[in-house]
Amino acid sequence: MKKLSWTGIFLLLMTAGLKAQQPERQGDLKELFKGPVDSSQWAGWWDRMRKWRSDKRDSLKYTDTGYLRPELGWMEKNFIYAQVMAEDRYLYDPVSRQYTVDRYLDDVKKRYGGLDAVLIWPTYPNIGIDDRNQFDLVADMPGGLEGVRKMVSEFKRRGVRVFFPIMIWDKGTHDSGLSIPVEIVREMKMIGADGLNGDTMFGVTEDFLAACDSLKYPLVLQPEVAIDDLKMVEWNQMSWGYFWNYAYIPGVSVPKWLEPRHQVQVTNRWVIDKTDDLQYAFFNGIGYNAWENVWGIWNQVPERSAEAIRRIATIYRRFPGLWNSFGWQPHVPAVQKGIFASLFPGTDLRVYTLVNRDSADRRGDQLQLPYEPGMKYFDLWNGVELVCRRKGDLVSLEFPVEGLGFGAILAARTYVLDSGFYRFLSEMHKLSARPLKSYAASWKPLLQQMVPIMASGSRRAGGERPAGEKVPDGMVLVPGSAEYLFESNGVMIEGNDLPTAVGIQHAWEKHPSRSQRHNMRIRSFYIDIYPVTNKQFQSFVDATHYQPRDAHNFLKDWSRGRYPAGWDDKPVTWVSMEDARAYAAWAGKRLPHEWEWQYAGQGQTGRLYPWGDKMDSSRMPRPDTSRNRRAPSDVGAFPSGVSAFGVMDLVGNVWQWTDEYRDEHTRSAILKGGSYFRPQTSLWYFPQALELNKYGKYLLMSPGIDRSGTIGFRCVRDVPLSE
């Protein structure tokens, strides 16, 4: 790049003003301004940028009162942020039945330096399995709202602010009679949350601000997608840097440029290499969303990116007031090719952030700055003081920036440097002793294991069912097969961006996968003709006095330990997988494996439905598209839906529990058969899987929230084998 003195830059600025045009946007969603092609264009570009901000603020009649509220001042220091699934096993331990906030925070602190805020996500992708709305699902988390409040307070004790999502599209589940803004602000007030993230929203609308004001509970509002109406920046104090088009020359964040106190978190959930995300964040002085558990799929930040986050966060937190400076100057001229710099000035000090967009290391002179007596210079990234060389009215700064790496320079008066600064400098020196490129940048899927299902009695090696053995009441025999082609496909809406991590991992697979295709041997087994009914489950409860440790939502449709009149033959629902296993053990049975359930419906034909390959809605219950779900249909009400083996109610009445899979962070259950409930208004609700060769992956947290009004179960019993 051509070298320019600050005097030359000033003169160019003075002559460019009247000819300034609107700065050019970068990317389809227009979240970024394009930077200048080279330093010779910087002065005109800089003038256009300043003029755009002034004109835009005037045209919007922009006010900054939302950024002056002292109770929301923490937002400007909210740099490193993470979206975490409520079901993540590092956040909640289903064995001890305790939130484990310290475990979660200690893990991320160890790996990439810790968090300033979290977005806790208890809704999608499970929402829509029944008519519970987004507020019900928060209240159904372990411990109820009081338990959630205590969990939130544990985060805040560690200095971490807590967000929850707005599902603005959730208009097909239970209608409480209140508007979404009023109900969600009321709930956030009860649990002590700090902010809201507007899922799918191009700006959180002003009615949410009005709800905060009316309920006297201010929240930081943050949309998921680009703010399309920049007037909303007034009350959307945060946003995501999402779907960014990463050009070689870094773009400048539009909302951050309009309002430098606006905090952006760069978010790119499926990408593995985080280099572009982190370079654009550091260049813009904005935050990063370290989102790893993506709907139960673990996309861990690789070591190299994790170490970059640690170093960026350490610098951010040392100089918290600089990154929202109105004196921010992106694209200040740098000396070497591929190096791009931003200036963040404060009182008696200023920090330059640099990114190297080339893969080659850059050494030698990097910046030429105006000479100022008494000014000292420090390479913050490498933790050393710099010896500057004066050339007339300029000083040259020489320091290394590794390929695709970062740099940070402090210019400061001596009297603003205290002992804490030198401890920070020493810390950065230790961190930078190992270059980022020496850390692993690779990724691999998190492996899963299926939870074993114990046989329902002793099995003896040998042949098939002993001659003359009686088929148990209410069951049918499914003859075994020496070779069954098991083909199954998950209906999860998202996840194709990481094709080797989506879905589930069977024993024969090297990694989780959405689809399965495997030849396997099926041994003969007995299976319930119908899903377990209320009457049958009542017998179990009466005989055993069964009461789960976590009784929230247990048999929610029942009253005083009895099911409603006329519900004898309806499938029992509001039972967790643990409840179903307890019943099965009492009955001398077990839950089916997913392939056993599927084979009972399709046999060797591979048919899509129990009756054949063509959908026939007359063979299953009528769909319920209302917001207040009706009860399931009686079992046996649709005899024409029978399978070739005589199994009924396999599809379209209630989902049915089968296998459970676990990895280090997530538990999930495989649901088969679909259900009658079909919430409307959004494609984001839990998808149906009416075809026999499809499954739903249902994330598990605790029995209370796992239980559903549309999930039931049926049992199988192993056939004893002859000696």
pLDDT tens for residues 479-513? 999 999 999 999 999 999 988 899 999 999 999 99
DSSP for 288-305, please give it.
Answer: EE---EETTEE-PPPHHH
pLDDT at position 132, please?
98
In a domain, 428, yes or no: no
pLDDT at position 720, please?
86
Q: Domain of residue 47: give its range.
A: 6-58+326-418
CA distance 118 to 86: 11
What CATH number corresponds to the domain at position 343?
A: 2.60.40.1180
650-664 pLDDT per residue, tens:
999 999 999 999 999
691 φ/ψ sector (left φ>0, alpha ψ -120 to 50, else beta): beta
CA distance 332 to 323: 15
Helix ranges (DSSP H) in 140-271: 144-157, 180-191, 206-214, 254-258
CA atoms within 13 A on the CB side of 26: 20
pLDDT at position 406, please?
98
Same domain, 478 and 619: yes
98-119 pLDDT per residue, tens:
999 999 999 999 999 999 999 9
What CATH number corresponds to the domain at position 289?
A: 3.20.20.80
Asked if pLDDT for residue 11 goes beyond 80, the answer is no
Same domain, 497 and 627: yes
For the residues 250-262, what does the mean pLDDT come to? Answer: 97
Mark which of 291, 321, 351 sits at the end of a domain: 321
CA distance 679 to 691: 19
Same domain, 354 and 308: no
Total domains, the chain: 3
Radius of gyration, alpha carbons of the chain: 30
pLDDT at position 123, please?
98
CA distance 188 to 183: 9
Strands (E) located in 325-480:
329-332, 339-346, 349-356, 365-370, 375-379, 384-385, 389-391, 394-398, 406-413, 449-450, 475-478
Only one residue has tokens 């005109």, namely 44
Q: Which residues contact 386 (CB under 8 A, 6 or more apart)?
A: 377, 378, 379, 397, 398, 399, 409
Same domain, 184 and 290: yes
The CA-based angle 122-128-130, given to 5 degrees, is 105
CA distance 566 to 555: 16
CA distance 312 to 498: 27
CA distance 539 to 721: 30
- pLDDT category at 676 given cuts 50, 70, 90 is very high
For the residues 535-555, what does the mean pLDDT come to? Answer: 98
244-254 pLDDT per residue, tens:
999 999 999 99
CA distance 573 to 489: 25
Mark which of 321, 353, 388 sits at the end of a domain: 321
In a domain, 453, yes or no: no
Q: Which of 11-20, 50-59, 417-426, 427-436 has the lowest mean pLDDT?
A: 11-20
Report the candidate in 112, 158, 106 with the shortest Cα–Cα distance to residue 313: 112
Kindly state the helix (H) or strand (E) to which residue 287 belongs, with its residue range.
strand 287-289
Same domain, 255 and 233: yes
pLDDT at position 21, please?
72
- Residue 7 identity (one-letter amino acid): T
Same domain, 236 and 336: no
What CATH number corresponds to the domain at position 670?
A: 3.90.1580.10
Same domain, 207 and 262: yes
In a domain, 655, yes or no: yes
- pLDDT category at 416 given cuts 50, 70, 90 is confident
86, 701 contact by CB (below 8 A): yes
126-138 pLDDT per residue, tens:
999 999 999 999 9
CA distance 450 to 416: 58
pLDDT at position 22, please?
82
Same domain, 123 and 210: yes
In a domain, 437, yes or no: no
In a domain, 370, yes or no: yes
CA distance 666 to 688: 22
201, 168 contact by CB (below 8 A): yes
Q: Which of 67-81, 462-476, 701-715 has the lowest mean pLDDT?
A: 462-476
Report the candidate in 118, 130, 234, 214 with the shortest Cα–Cα distance to residue 165: 118
Q: Structure tokens of 598?
A: 């599927």
Report the candidate in 672, 712, 711 with the shortest Cα–Cα distance to residue 689: 672
Q: Beta strand 297-298 with 349-356: parallel, antiparallel or unpaired?
A: unpaired
300-325 pLDDT per residue, tens:
999 999 999 999 999 999 999 999 99
Q: Is 483 exposed, middle or buried (0-12, 13-18, 19+ CB in 10 A)?
A: exposed
Q: What percent of the chain has pLDDT over 90?
A: 90
DSSP for 490-534, please give it.
Answer: E--SS-TTSTTTSSB--TT-SS-BSEEEEEEEE--EEEESSPPBH
- pLDDT category at 457 given cuts 50, 70, 90 is low
Q: Is 155 exposed, middle or buried (0-12, 13-18, 19+ CB in 10 A)?
A: buried
Same domain, 128 and 11: no
Phi and psi (nearest 5°) for 469?
A: -70, 140
Same domain, 81 and 12: no
Sign of CA dihedral 426, 429, 430, 431: positive
CA distance 631 to 672: 19
Same domain, 53 and 78: no
Give how far Cα 221 sits from Cα of 38, 145, 163, 239, 461, Å: 37, 21, 9, 8, 63
Q: Structure tokens of 502?
A: 């989506």
In a domain, 680, yes or no: yes
6, 343 contact by CB (below 8 A): no
pLDDT at position 467, please?
55
Asked if pLDDT for residue 12 goes beyond 70, the answer is no
Phi and psi (nearest 5°) for 285?
A: 65, 35
CA distance 81 to 162: 10
For the residues 222-228, what does the mean pLDDT come to? Answer: 94
368, 39 contact by CB (below 8 A): no
Only one residue has tokens 């499926």, namely 270
In a domain, 16, yes or no: yes
Mark which of 418, 452, 479 sits at the end of a domain: 418
Give how far Cα 698 sits from Cα of 126, 233, 379, 452, Å: 6, 36, 49, 18
CA distance 113 to 186: 33
Mean pLDDT of the chain: 94
Same domain, 612 and 494: yes
pLDDT at position 722, please?
57
Q: Which residues contact 69 (CB under 8 A, 6 or more apart)?
A: 218
In a domain, 359, yes or no: yes
Q: What percent of the chain has pLDDT over 70?
A: 95
